[in-house]
Amino acid sequence: MDRRRGAYQAYHWALGAFVLLGAVQIFLAGLGVFSSRGDPGFEPHRTFSIVIAAASLVPVVLAVVARAGARQIAGCAVVLVLAGFVQHALASAGFDDAWLGGLHALSGLVIVGVPAWLFWDSGRRSLTPP
């Protein structure tokens, strides 16, 4: 039981770290939009998206190991799919269709919002697994 509690606490704090990574990614998007003369442009945002995609796997694994519950695991899985696959497809397609580019931004909010809610929800349980 003690190992499971440790995994649950690691899961909780991994969610918090992921939300902070999401804030950095939003900052980099704004930096790209408001860059003058194209410097640094969107390249930092594009590069950091790889970090976000890789990091989205960590909460999923920890949620499963900690047996955090179906809602927690499903939420993490949704974020993994969005950050790992959907965002890249929407960003690429957004150059040809502005609506898909808009969905890229909206999906980004979900990618940060769902882990923020999961962080809050897992913390209110006093960091003990359900």
Nearest to 75 by CA among 110, 29, 51: 110
Q: What is the pTM of this model?
A: 0.91
Handedness of CA 53, 54, 58, 63 (dihedral sign): positive
Asked if 8 and 68 count as a contact pair (C-beta separation under 8 A), the reply is yes
pLDDT (tens digit per residue) in 69-79: 999 999 999 99
* Position with higher pLDDT, 62 vs 35: 62
| Spatial distance between the Cα atoms of 103 and 101, rounded to a whole number of angstroms | 5
pLDDT (tens digit per residue) in 85-97: 999 999 999 889 9
Using a pLDDT cut of 70, give the percent of the chain over it: 95
Using a pLDDT cut of 90, give the percent of the chain over it: 78
pLDDT (tens digit per residue) in 43-69: 999 999 999 999 999 999 999 999 999
